Amino acid sequence: MLLCLTTLLDEVNLWALGGTGLVAGLLGSMLGVGGGFLIVPILTLALHLPIKVAIGSSLVAIVANSCTAAGIYTKARLTNIKLGLLLETATIPGAIIGGFAAAVIAPSVLSAIFGLALIYAAYTMITRQHFMSVDTQPNDHLHLVEPSKISDNLSSSLTDSYYDQNLNEVVTYKVTRIPAGLGTSFFAGILSSLLGVGGGIVNVPVMHLVMGVPMKAAIATSTLIITITAAAGALIYHYQGHIYPFIIAPLAIGIVIGARIGVELTQRAKGLMLRRIFGAFLLLIAILMFLKTVNII
């Protein structure tokens, strides 16, 4: 296995790795999804690396991406730190379970699971008009949940606000449906370590559509969550021997540069067309992953 991997690494183009990191950092930071949905398919399909090595490399690169983006988002006061830390109490246990589960699951099964996750992501990006185009929830949406259904004290402590450059106004919001958010965060943690995707593809729509968090705040908070979650998963993959610095180094350089650009774009634009194109790209990659699973490519 080690000899085969060394042969493959000799053929890997460092510029291709850096370019992959750049694009993943750009789109990952813009959408709050980490970038693993791009890194893993490219490393496995285009660069022909084993999927577990690709997932481990993706998780480490995601940490670099999320640290860069989270710092900028936090400085801009877009991140709801209290909400992020609360959701982490469910996400980290999920990440640990997912990391150990990946060790006993066959690569073909991982490819199939990843393809299904990509289809979900593509559907969300392409068809959910509200998710893609609205930065804030309508005011009446923030009060759909009766106060008796949640803890008033906890919900009030999570209330936050930020200045939206695109809307040119201060947006204040209240976080609702906290138990549902915690449950889905646990699932996102499992998905993160199992597939190397960071979990943001679950966290962002849940925070936005279920918990009433404005889109930009959801992206920023998801980036903070991903930083810690991906680090937990990456440690497990390192322990299992799937982390190789000469793969990660060019990925990390590219992803940090892309993350800084992506954060600036997120604060200034809605990116509706970009997300539709991204969703179509994810659908294409999902098809390729399924073809790889059945050994057609």
Rounded mean pLDDT of the chain? 77
CA dihedral (266, 119, 189, 39) positive or negative:
negative
Distance spanning both ends of the chain, measured CA to CA: 21
Most confident of 83-87, 207-211, 230-234, 280-284: 83-87
**Are residues 38 and 26 in contact, defined by beta-carbon separation less than 8 angstroms?**
no
The half-sphere exposure of 74 on its side-chain side, counting CA atoms within 13 A, is 15
The predicted model gives 236-257 an average pLDDT of: 87
DSSP 130-148: HHHH-SS--GGGGG-S-GG
pLDDT of residue 80: 93
Residue 244 clears pLDDT 60, i.e. is over it: yes
* pLDDT higher than 70, residue 74: yes
Q: For residue 30, what pLDDT band results from cuts at 50, 70 and 90?
A: confident
Q: The whole model's pTM is what? A: 0.72
**Of all helices (H) and strands (E), which one includes residue 163?**
strand 160-164
Please say if the pLDDT value at position 280 is more than 60. yes
**Residue pair 219/204 in contact by the 8 Å Cβ criterion:** yes
Rounded CA separation 54/108 (Å): 14
CA distance 119 to 117: 5
Cα gap 60→70, rounded to integer Å: 15
- Map residue 221 onto helix, strand or coil: helix
Say which range, 124-138, 182-196, 274-288, has the weakest mean pLDDT.
124-138
Return d(Cα 163, Cα 169) in angstroms, integer. Answer: 6
Measured between alpha carbons, how far is 243 from 267 in angstroms, rounded to an integer?
33
For residue 244, give the 3-state DSSP assignment. coil
Domain ranges across the chain: 15-293
